[in-house]
Every structure is written in C-alpha cells, then in structure tokens.
Structure 1
Amino acid sequence: MNDATTVGIQKSPQSFPWYQYLSRSSTVLALVLLLVTASILSPHFLEPRNLFNVLRGASIIGIVALGMTFVILNRGIDLSVGSIVGISSALTATFAPQGLVVAVLVGCATGVGLGLVNGLLITRLRLQPFIATLGMLIFARGLVFVHTNGSNIVVENPSEAFSFIGSGYIGPVPMPVIIFIVMWAIAAVTLRYTRFGREIHAVGANEEAAWLTGINVKRNKVLTYCVSGLMAGIAGVILASRLGVAEPNGGTLYELDAIAAALIGGTTFDGGVGGVHGTILGILILAFLSNVLNLLNISPYSQMLMKGVIIILAVVVSEWRKRS
C-alpha cells in the first residue's frame, strides 16, 4: 500500500521542484515589492511596533488559513470557518471563568466537532463541499447569536494565563504570533512527512486513483475538515483572549481572507498542489497591504475593491501556472 500511495502522490505537480520554485518565487517577489513600496509610501511602516501589530493581527486569520490550505489541497472548500471562529470564541469566553484548560478545550473541541459534521455531510450524505460548508456557515453563525442573544460576552475576571494567550509577549514578540508560527511548523511537518499529509495530496490530485491505491478517501476527507475546524477553534480561543470579549459577529468573513491567502500562496482548487509555506506568504501580503492602506488613510471600501482584484489575479495566475 505504501508503494502504491507513493506512486499516486508522485502524479501531483507538488512533487516537481520547478513548480515549487515558480510558485513560491513569484509570491516572494510580490511580497518584497510590497514591503519596499510600503516603506517608501509610509515612514511609519517599518517601525517595529507597527510590524508586530500587523503580525499579531494576521496571526489569527493566518491560523484559519492554514486549515483552509489542508481543505483546498484535498480539493474541497470550507466556507464555515469564520462562523466556527465566532462560536468557538463565544464559548471560550463563556467558559473562561472555569479556568484556562477548560476554556481552551471547549473552544478547540467546538471547532473539531463542527469540522467533523462538515466532513460527514460531505462523505456520508455526499453533499458538495460548497453546499455543506455554506449550510454550516449559517448554522454556526445562528448558534453564535442564540448563545450570545445578540450581545457581547465579556470574559469575567480572566486569569493571567488566559489573557496571556492573546495579549502576552515573549520578548518583543506577541504570543499570537508565536502560536501562529508553531501551528505553521506543525502543519508543514504534517503535510510533508506524515502519511495523513501525503494522503491529502493524493486524494486532492486524483480521488479515484487514491481510492484504488488503498487510501480511505472518506476518512481522509473527514479528518481534513476536522483539522480546518480545529484551526478555526484555536483562532477563536486567541480572539476571545485578545479582546477579552466575544462579539456575535466575531470571525465574519475570515473565510474569504483564508481562501485568498491560500490562492495567493499557490494552492489551487484543482487539489494536490500547494502548501502552507505559500499560504504564509499570502497572509503576509494581505496583512501588510491592509496595513499600508490604513497608514495612507485609504477608505475601507476601496480596500475591499483592491482585495477583490488581488483574489481574481491570484486565480488567474493559478490557472496560468496550471496550463504552463
């Protein structure tokens, strides 16, 4: 089975060094050009305080984007991650007085549980990922409003340990950034060196071939959506800790930024092609772009237009890479 699985994975363009170089180098170049341009346009851009604030803000969506990368590599989509962040944040804030461990476990378990439901809807009921996760987006957001009754949930007497997750520092580095880096490392190792990660690429590249080589495709898909839910749950925990309050609209539209980051980083909807390293570059591009536009007092509405253009360009470039 291992030999057959290896053969199936080798069919993916991900295994060819030239493709990885082309995909990553163009994204790195775009990031460098953005940084240089931003430093010229705004003298405050390169200030350490500004950079760390940008990274701290990007870390929450970045963690969600890591999970989204798993799903897209598996030739799926998860539109529910923003709502899962919202309900995980709300439940984390509710259980925070019970202690750090309880609050974190509740937030993460909520994400995994809803991700499991997504996976089962797709594999057992054979719903299209778009439909299943769209339904979960609405359902989970409804859970948030039912639980919060449309009002903010303030974390009562948060412990220092709980507050440290979202607001603490290790040296000059914000704790959310450190968590983001750790999750990035775990995700990268999982995709590259574990059987689960190799099977994600194989299923995404060719689901039927993966099944013929002995891969349990349904189990792999379910686990992939559980990973996406877990990442959203972790992001929800950090969000509740950072703000000290859970908002009913928390996590809204996070799914769009997560998808955009994955696409900009070279992960394609065809499945099996891409990885979390590219997603990191994508999330940094989006974060620094938003930051420099804010420093230049560009209207948020205009920023939405620019973000839409970037997403379209990312898809165009992805198609060009696929055909070249």
Structure 2
Amino acid sequence: MSTSLKNPLHLIIKYNTLVIFLLMLIVSALVSDAFFTANNLANLIRQVAPVGIISMGMLLVILTGGIDLSVGSVVAMVGVLSALFTHMMPLPLAIVASLACGIMVGSLSGYLVSFQKMAPFIATLALMTIVRGLGFIFSKGAPVMVAENATALTDFGSENLLGIPNPAVILFVVFAATSVLLKYNVFGRVLIALGSNEEAVRLSGLKVSVYKFSVYAITGGLAAIAGLISTARTSVGSPNLGVGLELDVIATVVIGGTSLAGGRGSAINTFLGVLIVGMMGNVMNLLDIAAYSQQVIKGLIIIFAVLLQRFQDK
C-alpha cells in the first residue's frame, strides 16, 4: 500500500472514536431535521448524563483490567433509598446518605476483588443481583415517590445552569476531574500501569490492592450520583430502574477505544463514546425505530468499534 493511502487510513484507525463521532453527527443531521434543534440537544445531553457519569468510573475500573456489573443495580437501589430518605430526614442528609450507600456497595466490590482476589466478573455479578434485590425489598416492589417538601431535588433534575441542564453540568465536572486524574495525577498513571503490567506495579512497591479497591469505590459513588439524578428527573425511585444500564456503560467505554484487557483508554474518548451511544438512541427514537431493532443496531456498532481497536493494535 502506498504511503499516500496508508497515512490517511492510519489516521482513521488511530482516531477511530473521533471519526465515528463525526460520522454520527453527519448522519444524524442528514436523517432528521429535528436533531440539531436546541430542545433535542438539551434532551440528548440530559439523557446521557447518568450513563456518562458512570462511564467515567467504569473507565477507571476497566483500565485496571476489571469490570463492574453492579452499577445498574446501584442506580436502582440509590434511587429507591433517596426517595425514601426524603421522607425520613432533611434533604441534604438524605443526599449524603444515598451517596454513602452507593460508595459502600462499590467498596464491597473493591474488597472482594482486591483483598479476597475474587474475579471482578463474579464479584460484581453477585452484587448486581443482591443490590437489585435490596432495591425491591426497600421499596416493597413498588415505585417510591419523593417527599413533597423535597422540591429542591426535583427542581434540580429539570432546571438549567447557564442554559445547560444540571445533570449535564455534573457530567462535565466528572469528565474534567477524570481527565485531570488520568493525565496529571500519579493515581491515574498507576491505574493505566496496572492494566498493562500488574506484576511490575506490584514489584515497584505500590499497593495494588488499594488502587483496585479505590476505583470500585469511586464507581459506586458515581453510580449513586446517577441514581440521584434519575430520581430528581422523575420524582420517583424505582427498583426497576437501570436494568441493563451496566451494558450501556460498558458499551460507551468500549466504543471510546478503551481496551477491555486494561491499560489503554482516555476520558475524552470515553466521553465521545457516551455521545455516540446517546446519538444512536436519540436519532433512532426520532426516526421511530422499534426498540428491538435499536438493540441490534447498537450491537453492530459495538462490534465495529472493537474491530477498529484490533486494527489500531496492529
């Protein structure tokens, strides 16, 4: 292959996430006149905020070579608990207690994976089931309405800051913090090194277990934030919330070019992955495509993204 042809192809493969994102923008604009309207874009960023927030935590977990399947269940449980807590205590305390519950679940995952050496898939799969069950127990199987005096919470879910939906503001803050952590902080560089060569990190004297434990605790906290946002948007905490959410989160991280083997990934590409998955769903809804067909299309795009990663590795 000539150099003139090889270089553009190399650039496309190297920046495959950005290429997919730009293609999605072009396709979205061509197939739907409603896509680039202010209302639709605001709705899009509001909808992807919970997935995007959790994706930043999942990125950290996957960078270490792990996985967290419990995040969807944490969203549901925290959604239920946050609604219940508004009936039991002042709103600020209810929010803190809800976040603490998410961090506790993430910490338990981290403990099982880091200190008990349990496989991440098994540990978080078990917690996914347990936490979902707890959500049903706490709610008695029915949605829980937010207390009438907790209007500050429900207002937060629907209001904007400088024209940007509040959930999106939180997403941008979490994204910025993750970017700084991975680029300019020793903690982030150690996470990447863990996924590349865990034994080398261990031999260097660093406490591998502590780093692994931390990323699961962080992810649990971010899932709790997503649960609070979902409750704020709907004024209801439901134990059925977030079913399959963990798969959407993993899909965004993978489409963002993160290696499931660990050691490679970035916050900006994960953020683009969030937008790509969000645009897919948004455009297909605008075109009134059936939900089952949407699942097939999303799956095909995930396969395409992973294949591009394989070319990038060569």
Alignment coverage as a number of residue pairs: 304
Aligned residue among 19, 29, 32 for 2:22:
32
TM-superposed CA distance for 1:200, in Å, is: 0.8
Contact 2:61 2:67 in 1 (8 A): yes
| Structure 1 unaligned blocks of 5 or more | 1-20
Asked if residue 60 in structure 1 is aligned to residue 50 in structure 2, the reply is yes
Q: How does 1:230-269 map to 2 (within 5 A)?
A: 230-269=221-260
2:133 pairs with one of 136, 139, 142? 142
The residue identity in structure 1 corresponding to 2:176 is: A
Q: Deviations over 1:215-239 (max 9, x none)?
A: 1000100001011111101101111
Match of 1:213 among 204, 207, 215: 204
- Shift, 1:153, TM fit: 0.3
SS at match of 1:77: coil
Distance, in Å, in 2 between the alignment partners of 1:166 and 1:207 is 41
2:244 and 2:149 mapped to 1: Cα distance?
27
Question: C-alpha displacement at 1:170, in angstroms?
Answer: 1.4
Give yes or no for contact 2:16–2:308 (8 Å, CA) kept in 1. no
Q: Does 1:122 align with 2:113?
A: yes
Which amino acid counterpart does residue 164 of structure 1 have in structure 2? D
1:290 equivalenced with 2:281 (yes/no): yes
Q: What is the aligned partner in structure 1 of residue 6 from structure 2?
A: none
The percent identity for this pair of structures is 38
Query: Which deviates more, 72-81 or 186-195?
Result: 186-195
**Is 2:112 the counterpart of 1:112?**
no
Aligned equivalents of 1:137, 1:198: Cα separation in 2: 29
2:143 to 146, 149, 152: 152
Measure the CA separation in 2 of the matches of 1:313 and 1:161: 43
For normalisation by structure 2, the TM-score amounts to: 0.93
Alignment partners' CA distance in 2, 1:24 and 1:237: 37
Alignment of 1:172-321 (within 5 A): 172-321=163-312
Find the aligned partners of 2:143 and 2:94 in 1 and give their Cα distance: 17
* 1:100 CA displacement: 2.8
Distance apart, 1:214 and its partner CA: 1.2
Cα offset for 1:24? 6.6
Corresponding residue number in structure 2 for 1:83: 73
Separation (CA, whole Å) in 1 of partners of 2:65 and 2:291? 32
TM-score by length of 1: 0.90
Equivalent residue of 2:308, what SS? helix
Deviation by residue 1:297-318 (Cα, 9 ceiling, x = unmatched): 1111000001111222222222
Q: Give the CA RMSD over aligned residues.
A: 1.5
Over residues 239-267 of structure 1, what are the superposed CA-to-partner deviations in whole Å (9 max), with x where a residue is unaligned?
A: 11111001111111111111000011111
